[in-house]
Homo-oligomer: A and B are copies of this chain.
């Protein structure tokens, strides 16, 4: 079963609004197990819309359109779709009654062009719209379907969920289940390298790597006649991935690095204090976005200057003079200093050169040290990060969070 989504509307073609309808429908269809191979957008133009429908019907069983069901002359999706199937429009008296009562309820004036919204092909399935005046419809011809949905997401989404979904579910006989594995510390290409045979031979489940903002995810998606069997299929693949690169997995589905760290701290009843130089508050800020963090987060210090590093954290002048602010030694003293100040179990620090200026041959832009003090022990990680100032700072933040995480799960 193959479907195609066509969104209709000049406001999308001009970029006035983001096309969120396509995403919503694509996700729902994937979950139901209906393949979507094409999405398209076309304006309110008869010729081009007709062309798109005809193209789509050649390659797909179902076309779902959104938009163009309104009362004005511009709105023509229903008219063009009926023409495409060679079906005549007739007045549906009950719809017309509904529209009239909708208008009188709102105290709005009813104009003759509102009647247009009550015309549909004779034998179509009407999809009710409690949130607007434009009903949707399922048009059928031979083995093909055109499904008409309204454009505004507030009308389209409830119509999909409450009216259309049950019809679509009857068309497929299996379930689709996905699980996302989240990686840190390994790039997309070297992850793929290690799983290349699995990716090349994937079928069911499918294995989709995806890179975004310094982390890589793999989505495993299985099709089966029920959820249990789909989960079983996923587990087999997941186990094998775990065998090969499990040490880079930090979480599943919608979690984040900071959420994992915050959860571990709260679970283990441990406290943390943070001292940041180049990340300048990002590590603290990430942790504090976790609502339950207050019992664990003791304090954060943004010690950007040497003076603050000495005064706030007790970093020795000697250390700064001898090794510099961006050094293993300073990172360690920062982490220890902040932990000991309020007696936290964990102290984490960042110090580095975020750029664009300030780099030298010996200490180039992107050099960052992460210091960690945890229950009396010391760790340091040296990172060489690339990108803009913002990217280097954001990556250093992730590195710091990940260092805390890996030590907490030991």
Contact = CB atoms under 8 A, between A and B. Distances in A.
Interface in A281-334: 281-285, 287-289, 291, 293-294, 297-305, 307-308, 311-312
Given A40-B39, A274-B302, A289-B393, A386 B102 contact: yes
Given A188-B72, A281-B284, A311-B342, A291 B389 contact: yes
Given A114-B189, A192-B113, A291-B357, A210 B11 contact: yes
Interface residues of A, number: 111
A144 to B, nearest CB: 19
A308 B299 CA distance: 6
A91 to B, nearest CB: 17
A74 B192 CA distance: 11
A375 interface: no
A133 to B, nearest CB: 9
A72 B216 CA distance: 13
B288 A284 contact: no
Nearest to A356: B291
Contact of A300 (B19, B37, B280, B355): B280
Q: A22, A105, A280: which has the most chain B beta carbons within 10 Å?
A: A280
A409 B22 CA distance: 42
Nearest to A190: B109
A247 to B, nearest CB: 15
Contacts of A366: 105
Given A105-B384, A301-B299, A14 B26 contact: yes
A23, A281, A289, A342 pick with most chain B CB within 10 angstroms = A281
Given A45-B37, A113-B192, A18 B20 contact: yes
A368 to B, nearest CB: 12
Q: What is the oligomeric copy number?
A: 2
Interface string A147-166: 00000101000000000000
A168 interface: no
A291 B355 contact: yes
Interface string A347-385: 000000011110000000010000000000000000111
Contacts of A383: 107
A29 B16 CA distance: 12
A10 interface: yes
Given A27-B14, A113-B189, A297-B305, A281 B285 contact: yes
A19 B23 contact: yes
Contacts of A70: 188, 211
- The dominant DSSP class at the A interface is mixed
A268 to B, nearest CB: 18
B305 A298 contact: yes
A1 interface: no
A274 B308 CA distance: 12
Interface string A208-229: 1111110000010000000000
Contacts of A170: none
A192 B337 CA distance: 52
A208 B12 CA distance: 13
A55 B51 CA distance: 11
A84 to B, nearest CB: 17
A187 interface: yes
Nearest to A108: B187
Nearest to A52: B38
A281 B288 contact: yes
12 contacts: A13-B37, A14-B26, A18-B23, A19-B19, A38-B40, A71-B188, A109-B190, A113-B189, A279-B285, A281-B300, A291-B357, A301-B301
Given A40-B41, A102-B386, A284-B302, 13 more contacts: A14-B30, A14-B36, A17-B23, A73-B199, A74-B209, A106-B385, A109-B190, A130-B388, A131-B388, A291-B389, A301-B301, A307-B342, A311-B342
